[in-house]
Structure formats: structure tokens, C-alpha cells
Amino acid sequence: MSEEDPKRLLDARILIVDDDPDVLAVIDAALRAEGAETITCKDGNSAVAKCEQENPDLVVLDMMLPKRSGFLVLERFKQMPKMPRVIMVTANEGKRHQAYAETLGVDAYLHKPIRLETLIKLASEMIAEDAQKN
């Protein structure tokens, strides 16, 4: 990215939830480089608490988490007055899991390993869409 390129996620608040510290660090660095304000956590219970406290614009959510699965986190998000946009990331290839996530209101479902550029593009499109609505 050159100096003239605008940061695609400037002022976006993004919660990143993944129990793998390496994945968490890489996604965090990539989103911050695009101007996002990030909040991170490593388990499902913390994800729910952080989402309630921080009111993020977007959540990047791993499916397999300790303490509360990504599905249970999604179910809780669905009960919130303002459900954040959610991109679920998973190493699970099963279509049944994807279909279930979609019934819970997930906005996008990506398989690991994810391309950071794909994640950033998708996140920036969602943030821009929401900005146009408001």
C-alpha cells in the first residue's frame, strides 16, 4: 500500500475472536494497517462480553472456540439490539456448518487459511455498506 492509498477500514471498530494467537496477531495487524481500531479476544465468553461493551461495527469470529463456540456466540449476537456484522472464519469444510451459521445471521463465511486481502476487502465492503445506510 502506497502513501496515497486510502486506508480502507479507517475508523471501523472490529472485534477479532480466535483462540490461535498467531492467527489473531496476523488478522489484527492486517486490519490495523488498514486503519481499523481492533479489539481482540480468545474465547466465546469474552467475545460476547467485548461485543456488549465495545459495540463493534464488525466481528471476525472463529467457529471453534473455547468456553463458547462461534455458533453460540452468533446466537447471542442475534439477541442483541444491534447485531454487529459477522465474518465467520473456520477450518471446517462442512456445508452443514455454513448453512447453520447463515441461519443464525452470519454475513460471510470464510475457510481457513484465509487470504488477508479477501478478508480486508469483505470487511471494507460491509463497513461501507453500513455507512451508506446511516
In a domain, 126, yes or no: yes
DSSP state of 109: E
In a domain, 7, yes or no: no
* Length of the chain, in residues: 134
Give percent of the chain above pLDDT 70. 96
Helix (H) or strand (E) holding 37: strand 37-41
Identify whether the C-beta of residue 65 lies closer than 8 Å to the C-beta of residue 73. yes
Q: Which pTM was predicted?
A: 0.92
Stretch 85-94: mean pLDDT = 89
Identify whether the C-beta of residue 66 lies closer than 8 Å to the C-beta of residue 131. no
Number of domains in the chain: 1
pLDDT over threshold 60, residue 3? no
Identify whether the C-beta of residue 58 lies closer than 8 Å to the C-beta of residue 33. no
Query: Which structural domain range is residue 67 located in?
Result: 13-133
* CATH number of the domain to which 74 belongs: 3.40.50.2300
In a domain, 79, yes or no: yes
In a domain, 2, yes or no: no
Identify the residue whose cell numbers are 489484527: 28
pLDDT tens-place string over residues 34-80: 999 999 999 999 999 999 999 999 999 999 999 999 999 999 998 88
pLDDT at 4: 52
